[in-house]
């Protein structure tokens, strides 16, 4: 210990316990350069191209009827899939964080599965299930129900792709909090729902908020899975990312980037929320430790 104290006071300690200052700046320069090339430039490109012809053209592109319809469909998709996965996430996190049971790790792996599967396969499975050549397709068409290449298929594929997000955010938060507070509430006579809403929910609200925001960003931005199950009918089964693809492939770059900038903006909001949540929950967690 004495030796180390002396070592730290040694004039050359900086050099032995850290890198030379010039070398630190080289490393910082390379790292920042990488971030500028791979992250900042693509982000600036979206807004730069979107506004290349001025705000007038930007608003024009977003208010164009087909793009406007795409925005509406995206909002509808998120409005259905996010609450479904929010309820699932809370229930699954309660189950996994509060109880020990056989097969828990297997259940956790299953929840992670959509992360590991290609979005194209996530779309394909719904075509195989509900398509005309699929398992339920002929039966559904008897009743004139259309699921794939229509709006229900888009919603189903989105639910599939986004279903781990809320659960994944909540499970570690609830595990680290333990069950003592809930047990105290129950012992004092609260019922299960009161315990959840008055004890658990206030403790997990920031993690829950971030999970929902992330789930929502993915629901609105999902491209691969949705592009497989969508019928690509303009103004009917196009979500925002699909509309971006169509506009881009028609060389209508300004309009494509204008519509894309809505999603890029949503991505930035997601990052800001994450930052705020980390700051808030960091304070909150250190508060409960005392």
Footprint (CB under 8 A) of other proteins, residues 250-289: 253, 256-257, 260, 263-264, 266-268, 270-272, 274-275
CB 176, min distance to other proteins, A: 14
Q: Which of residues 115-144 bind other proteins (CB under 8 A)?
A: 115-121, 124-129, 131, 133-135
Sign of torsion, CA 46 59 249 120? positive
The conformation of residue 100, written as its DSSP 8-state character, comes to: -
Taking the C-alpha atoms of residue 269 and residue 220, their distance in angstroms, rounded to an integer, is 13
Q: Angle between the 164-177 and 104-116 helix axes, to the nearest 10 degrees? A: 140
CB 264, min distance to other proteins, A: 6
DSSP string, 44-79: HHHHHHHTTTHHHHHHHHHHSHHHHHHHHHHHHHHH
Q: Which of residues 92-111 bind other proteins (CB under 8 A)?
A: 92, 94-95, 98-101, 107, 109-111
Applying CB under 8 A, which part among 53-61, 63-71, 88-96, 280-288 lies near other proteins?
88-96
Q: Which of residues 32-61 bind other proteins (CB under 8 A)?
A: 32, 34-35, 37-43, 45-46, 49
CB 60, min distance to other proteins, A: 19
Q: Which of residues 66-85 bind other proteins (CB under 8 A)?
A: none
Q: Which of 16, 56, 65, 290 binds other proteins (CB under 8 A)?
A: 16
Q: Which of residues 133-192 bind other proteins (CB under 8 A)?
A: 133-135, 159-160, 163, 179, 182-183, 186-187, 191-192
Instruction: Please say whether the beta carbons of 84 and 161 come within 8 A.
Output: no
CB 23, min distance to other proteins, A: 9
Taking the C-alpha atoms of residue 179 and residue 170, their distance in angstroms, rounded to an integer, is 14
Taking the C-alpha atoms of residue 270 and residue 128, their distance in angstroms, rounded to an integer, is 33
Instruction: Please say whether the beta carbons of 242 and 223 come within 8 A.
Output: yes
CB closer to other proteins, 64 vs 245 = 245
């Amino acid at each position: 210990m004495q030796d180390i104290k002396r070592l730290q006071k040694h004039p050359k300690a900086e050099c032995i316990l850290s890198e030379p200052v010039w070398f630190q700046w080289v490393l910082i320069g390379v790292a920042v350069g990488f971030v500028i090339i791979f992250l900042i430039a693509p982000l600036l490109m979206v807004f730069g191209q979107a506004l290349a012809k001025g705000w007038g053209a930007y608003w024009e592109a977003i208010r164009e009827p087909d793009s406007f319809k795409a925005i509406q469909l995206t909002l509808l998709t998120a409005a259905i899939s996010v609450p479904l996965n929010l309820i699932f996430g809370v229930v699954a996190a309660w189950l996994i964080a509060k109880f020990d049971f056989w097969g828990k790790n297997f259940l956790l792996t299953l929840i992670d599965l959509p992360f590991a599967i290609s979005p194209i396969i996530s779309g394909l499975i719904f075509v195989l299930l509900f398509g005309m050549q699929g398992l339920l397709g002929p039966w559904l068409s008897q009743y004139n129900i259309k699921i794939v290449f229509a709006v229900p298929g888009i919603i189903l594929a989105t639910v599939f792709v986004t279903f781990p997000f809320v659960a994944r955010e909540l499970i570690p938060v609830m595990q680290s909090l333990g069950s003592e507070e809930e047990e105290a509430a129950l012992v004092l006579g609260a019922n299960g729902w009161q315990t959840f809403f008055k004890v658990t929910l206030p403790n997990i609200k920031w993690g829950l908020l971030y999970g929902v925001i992330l789930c929502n960003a993915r629901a609105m931005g999902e491209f691969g899975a949705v592009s497989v199950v969508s019928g690509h009918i303009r103004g009917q089964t196009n979500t925002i990312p699909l509309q971006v693809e169509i506009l881009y492939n028609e060389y209508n770059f300004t309009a494509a980037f204008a519509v894309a900038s809505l999603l890029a903006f949503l991505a930035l909001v997601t990052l800001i929320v994450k930052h705020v949540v980390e700051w808030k929950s960091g304070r909150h967690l250190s508060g409960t430790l005392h």
